């Protein structure tokens, strides 16, 4: 899947299912961004865990076991690229979360290509359109819900 298109659905075959309430890890060093996204995502019915550094994100990914990770590329300690690569190689395909990169700095085509190569499934620029973000997360949720 090309990560430039926020309307595409994530592949369902390589994700795990936890029912209707997805677990979302939000990672950004800007507390206001994390809090705002958490309020929006919780309002949409998702369980949200905040993190503020790359190393916190890796710990949270192992303990919280998110279905979706929304990760700023430029955070202290360990970049979002490094976190995505670690998750990509550290989790089996069945357990790997759907990963959304966000950035207000790294927004050029090469930056998006690196994000894709390191393991991100989608890419949004800051300030991100919350409707687009919710469509991505909801699209992933719907891909996990068995068809009746």
Q: What is the pLDDT of residue 48?
A: 96
* Host domain of residue 36: 23-142
Domain count, the chain: 1
Q: What is the pLDDT of residue 106?
A: 58
104 inside domain: yes
14 inside domain: no
- Looking at per-residue pLDDT, the higher value among 141 and 133 belongs to 133
- How far is the CA of 53 from the CAs of 3, 74, 90, 109, 140, in angstroms? 23, 9, 18, 24, 25
Taking residue 94's Cβ as centre, other Cβ atoms within 10 Å add up to 10
Do the bridges between strand 68-72 and strand 23-27 make them parallel or antiparallel, or are there none, so unpaired?
Answer: parallel
Q: What is the pLDDT of residue 19?
A: 52
147 inside domain: no
Q: What is the pLDDT of residue 94?
A: 62
Token digits of residue 53: 């550094």
Q: What is the pLDDT of residue 13?
A: 38
Q: What's 82's domain CATH number?
A: 3.40.50.2300
Rounded average pLDDT over 129-146: 80
Q: What is the pLDDT of residue 10?
A: 41
86 inside domain: yes
Residues with Cβ < 8 Å from 117, sequence gap 6 or more? none
pTM greater than the 0.85 cutoff: no
CB hemisphere CA count around 42 (13 angstroms):
10
Least confident span in 12-16, 18-22, 81-85, 127-131: 12-16
The pLDDT confidence band at residue 107, using thresholds 50, 70 and 90, is: low
4 inside domain: no
DSSP per-residue letters across 22-81: -EEEEE-S-HHHHHHHHHHHHHTT-EEEEE-SHHHHHHHHHHH--SEEEEESS-SSS-HH
pLDDT exceeding 70 applies to what percent of the chain?
Answer: 76
43 inside domain: yes
Q: What is the pLDDT of residues 28-77, one digit of tens each?
A: 999 999 999 999 999 999 999 999 999 999 999 988 989 999 999 988 88
113 inside domain: yes
46 inside domain: yes
């Amino acid at each position: 899947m090309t990560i430039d298109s926020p309307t595409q659905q994530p592949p369902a075959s390589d994700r795990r299912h936890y029912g209707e309430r997805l677990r979302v890890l939000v990672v950004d060093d800007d507390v206001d961004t994390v809090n705002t996204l958490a309020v929006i995502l919780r309002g949409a019915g998702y369980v949200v865990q905040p993190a503020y550094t790359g190393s916190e994100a890796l710990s949270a990914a192992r303990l919280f076991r998110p279905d979706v990770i929304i990760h700023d590329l430029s955070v202290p300690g360990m970049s979002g690229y490094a976190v995505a690569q670690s998750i990509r190689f550290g989790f089996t395909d069945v357990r790997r979360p759907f990963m959304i990169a966000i950035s207000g700095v790294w927004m050029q085509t090469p930056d998006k290509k690196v994000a894709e190569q390191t393991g991100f499934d989608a890419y949004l620029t800051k300030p991100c359109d919350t409707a687009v973000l919710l469509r991505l997360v909801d699209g992933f949720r719907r891909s996990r819900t068995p068809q009746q």
